[in-house]
Each structure stands twice: as C-alpha cells, then as structure tokens.
Amino acid sequence: MDARSDGLALVRTCRRVHHLLGRLVGRLDSDEAGVVSLFAGVDGGGTSARVVIVDGEGREVARGEAPGAVVTVVSPEDAAEAVAAAIGEAIELASLERITRDASLGSIVLPLDGLWAGLAGAGSTEAAHAVRTALIERGLAHRITVGTDVRAAYEDAFPNGEGVLLIAGTGSVAWGMGSDGGPIQVGGWGKLLGDEGSGHWIGMKGLQHVMAAYDGRSPQGYLYHQMLDATGVRTPSDLVGWVEVAKKREIAVLAPLVVASSGLGDPAAEDIVAEAVTALVSLVEAVFLRGAWQREDTKVVLWGGLIADSGPLAGRVSEALIHTGFSVVERQVDPPLGASRLALRT
C-alpha cells in the first residue's frame, strides 16, 4: 500500500473513531452501577498502531489496529491520530457500546482510566511530550503516558524485568532493566549511527559488496547477482540512484537474500552474516555487563523479523548466544499487551 493509500485509510478510520468516541464519551454518568475500569496499551510504528484494552484485573477486553505513524516533533498529531484510530477500531470491532449487557464487565465509559502508548520515535523526550499533549487533547484517557515501542515489548517479554530483549528487524536494539529498576538500552540509534546487525545493516552491506565486486575488489559471485536481480537495476552503477531514494525497509528486505547466499557458500555473504551475528551478540553483552548479572542466569528473548521464530538469522544468533553462556528463551512477544500492563501500573 502506498503512502497516499495509507493516508486515506487513516483518515477514514479516524472519522469512524471520532464519530464513535463522540457517542461514547460522557454517555454514562460515573455514578451508574457497574462502571468498569479500562486501560489501553498501544504499540505504534510507521506501519501500524496496535492496541489492547484490558480491565482493571488485566483481562483482555478488545484489540484494534490502524495505520501507524512515527513520532516526530514536527507533526505529533499524526501519531496521536494513529493511536486514537487504533483505540476506536478496538471499540468498534468489539462493539463496546453494547458490552453493558455483560454484567461481569459493567458499563464502558470514555475517557479510559489509563493509556500507555509505546511509539517508535518516542525516545526523544521532546517528541514524546508533543505526542502526549496531542493525546491529552483528544480526551482518550484520564492518565496518559508515552514511551517507546521497545519498552512495551520488553514488558511483555519480561514482566518482572529479569532478562535481555534483543530486537533485530529493520533496525536493532537490546534492552534490559538494571537492579535499580532503571532501563538499559544498547543500540537502537538508527541507520546512520547504529542498527548494527539489523536487516537494513545487512542489506546495505550486500549492496556495498556489489559495488566492490563491480570495481574488481571482490569476486562477482552468487550474492552479487542476487542483489542486482532483487533491486531490478540494469547495471551496478544504477544502484547509486536506487539507494538514494530507497526507503529503509526496502533495503532491509534484502537481508534474507544475503543470509540465503551465505547458506549457499558465497564467501562475501558468509562474512556479512558472521559480522551481523557478532554485532547482535555484542548488544546483549553490553546490556549484561551494565546490568552486572550472573551470565548463566541471564535469559535472552529474540524478537523482530530477522531473529524471532523462523527468522533468517534466528538459529545463528541463538546458537551464538548459547555458546557465549546465555540462556535463550522462546517467547511470543506481544508489545501492546505489555503496554496495557504498563498502563495498569502507571
């Protein structure tokens, strides 16, 4: 779906949200019997915004999803609208306006009691404040907190804060909680300053190999031809223009080709993959050292399209971490659910 289609979809969803919220906000008096506390957790990025709504006991009531938006200081309203749209979609899909028939849940009123929004780009204090202000203006909840999508994911992976979450998809970051309860973040500094071992990083290394091979500084092997085919350029020199306009995700999707070429014995691809694995393990090592934990007691959860489940680097990274002495734990990470737990506690 192109940017214009995403924008139109968001506009349509937001119109439904505002219509629905207008019917629900203030519909019931606060002294009406059976009013239930509701809390929303949101995981939002450039692709989508996902929400989980839970009651005061942490029981899931509804889920929703809407087109996403990355947090920026320039246009905080975009991210706020994405959050509002996701909440509205959850309400609409679950027909919360009719849930009063369920005596066990009681009446639903908005604003919700709490909202914790984990959003990509909210690592900037200024940007997070701007989005929080925009969310408050929309009256979605009495208490609103804006944090990062990584924090939300960590909360679901380690509710008690007892391990390291390694994320490798388009970008890369490792996250943990210190003994003092403070966050420990390693990496996650974007494509220019970090993201080592990520899909974008691997994709760029593959493209750089093409240019080196074109110059005669490296063999024109399997990886060379695979990268040219995948980008659709006529000659390697055309990659200069291609990479200047390519989105981060378009480069990241080349990573599986590099990993596959490595599995087929391409020397350049093997070197890139080995370097990526080493870089990702180093992120975990840095969190571990700063946390001052016992190595054998340190659990690591892998998340992100590159290393989770059947991701192209899942096996390699898991083996490397285990060889280094860490314990790799398989868990399905549900960031909006983690955010809803944070909403309950905040």
Q: What is the DSSP letter of 35?
A: B
- Tell me the average pLDDT of the chain: 84
Domain count, the chain: 2
Q: At what angle do helices 267-291 and 222-231 cross, to 10 degrees?
A: 80
CA–CA dist 274, 296 (Å, integer): 24
CA–CA dist 32, 106 (Å, integer): 10
CA–CA dist 126, 140 (Å, integer): 21
Domain's final residue, options 120, 147, 174 = 147
What number is the average pLDDT over the span 240-246? 94
What number is the average pLDDT over the span 3-11? 44
Helices (H), the chain: 3-24, 76-94, 125-137, 149-157, 190-193, 199-215, 222-231, 239-245, 248-252, 255-263, 267-291, 314-324, 335-345
pLDDT surpasses 80 at 108? no
**Would you place residue 109 in the very low, low, confident or very high pLDDT band (cuts 50, 70, 90)?**
low
Q: What is the DSSP letter of 98?
A: G
Q: Is 122 found in the same domain as 96?
A: yes
pLDDT surpasses 50 at 100? no
Q: Say what the pLDDT of residue 105 is.
A: 42
The helix (H) or strand (E) run that includes residue 176 is strand 172-177
Instruction: Show the tokens assigned to 198.
Output: 């990520």
Q: Is 169 found in the same domain as 142?
A: no
> Within 10 Å of residue 182's Cβ, how many Cβ atoms?
10
Inter-CA distances, 228 with 116, 147, 314, Å: 44, 40, 25
CA–CA dist 133, 115 (Å, integer): 13
Q: Is 306 found in the same domain as 179?
A: yes
Q: What's 253's domain CATH number? A: 3.30.420.40
pLDDT in tens, 125-177: 888 999 999 999 988 899 999 999 999 999 999 988 789 999 999 899 999 98
Q: Is 327 found in the same domain as 205?
A: yes
pLDDT surpasses 60 at 1? no
pLDDT surpasses 90 at 186? yes
Long-range pairs for 283-286: beta carbons < 8 A, 24 or more residues apart: 283/166, 283/172, 283/173, 283/174, 283/186, 283/187, 283/196, 283/197, 284/164, 284/166, 284/174, 284/186, 284/321, 284/326, 285/324, 286/174, 286/186
Supply the range of the domain harboring residue 41.
3-147
Contact (CB, 8 A) for 112 and 39:
yes
pLDDT in tens, 207-231: 999 999 999 999 999 999 999 999 9
Instruction: Show the tokens assigned to 194.
Output: 């970090």
Count of residues for the chain? 346
Q: Is 321 found in the same domain as 175?
A: yes
Q: Which residues contact 288 (CB under 8 A, 6 or more apart)?
A: 164, 176, 295, 298, 326
Contact (CB, 8 A) for 62 and 96:
yes
Q: Is 277 found in the same domain as 193?
A: yes
Contact (CB, 8 A) for 262 and 272:
yes
pLDDT surpasses 60 at 202? yes
**Would you place residue 21 in the very low, low, confident or very high pLDDT band (cuts 50, 70, 90)?**
very low
pLDDT surpasses 50 at 98? no
Which value, to the nearest 10 degrees, does the dihedral of the CA atoms of residues 115, 117, 123, 127 take?
Answer: -80
Domain's final residue, options 147, 179, 201 = 147
Q: What is the DSSP letter of 107?
A: B
Q: Say what the pLDDT of residue 95 is.
A: 60
Q: Is 109 found in the same domain as 55?
A: yes
Q: Say what the pLDDT of residue 11 is.
A: 43
CA–CA dist 260, 311 (Å, integer): 12
Q: Is 141 found in the same domain as 227?
A: no
pLDDT in tens, 263-288: 999 999 999 999 999 999 999 999 99
pTM over 0.75: yes
pLDDT surpasses 80 at 20? no
Q: Say what the pLDDT of residue 124 is.
A: 83
What number is the average pLDDT over the span 177-183? 82
pLDDT surpasses 80 at 14? no
Buried b (16+ CB within 10 A) or exposed e, 129-159: ebbbebbbebebbeebbbbbbbbbbbbbbbe
- State in Å, rounded, how far the first CA of the chain is from the last one: 36
Q: Say what the pLDDT of residue 35 is.
A: 59
pLDDT surpasses 90 at 315? yes
**Would you place residue 309 in the very low, low, confident or very high pLDDT band (cuts 50, 70, 90)?**
confident
